[in-house]
Amino acid sequence: MESALIETSVISYFAAPPSHRPATAARQSLTRLWWESDRSRYDCYISTYVLAEITQGNRKKADKRLESVQGWPILSDKDQIGVLAAKYLQAISIPDESKIDAFHLATATVHRMDYLVSWNLKHLVNPQIQRILDAINLREGYRSPILCTPELLMEE
């Protein structure tokens, strides 16, 4: 079975009450559909970084996010993750408040995940980011995960 690091945005869309914003509602619907019908085709993981993010904010909402990934394996932090994230941050324009995205990329890479699943289209699931990631990882001796949304992993 293929492995997937499920990033915070996917968990948040799954656990949140339905949005009135059309784009958000569509992503929530696609996330729930993937979660219920296709997620079982993957070995799904979260990371210590995802865990830190989903426990922030409103306690009730954080509990719901935590409950949705209960029992999932947690990818540990490793020294190589920080080193690789620093290289990504040198090559990718990520603002200070979003630097954790480089750690999501590095965690998926170091732990040899097949996929990094996210709705973050600016700093993660993005063809330019995939190209930069592939170049750095090739130079550093890593295989890149495929960066994708839940929708891209659905069979239909």
Mean pLDDT (the chain, rounded):
96
Q: Tell me which H or E stretch contains 47.
A: strand 42-47
- Side-chain-side CA neighbours of 77 within 13 Å: the count stands at 11
Break the chain into its structural domains and give their ranges. Answer: 2-153
Residue-wise pLDDT for 35-50, tens only, equals 999 999 999 999 999 9
pLDDT for position 54 = 97
Pick the CATH number of 2-153 from 3.40.50.2000, 3.40.50.300, 3.40.50.1010, 3.40.640.10: 3.40.50.1010
pLDDT for position 155 = 83
Query: Angle of helix 59-68 relative to helix 8-15, nearest 10 degrees?
Result: 110
User: 106 CB contacts (<8 Å, ≥6 apart)?
Assistant: 80, 81, 82, 84, 85, 88
CA distance 134 to 130: 6
Residue-wise pLDDT for 104-142, tens only, equals 999 999 999 999 999 999 989 999 999 999 999 999 999
SS (H, E, C) 71-94: CCCEECCCHHHHHHHHHHHHHCCC
Matching residue, tokens 């130079």: 139
Band (7; pLDDT cuts 50, 70, 90): very high
Q: What is the pTM (predicted TM-score) of this model?
A: 0.95
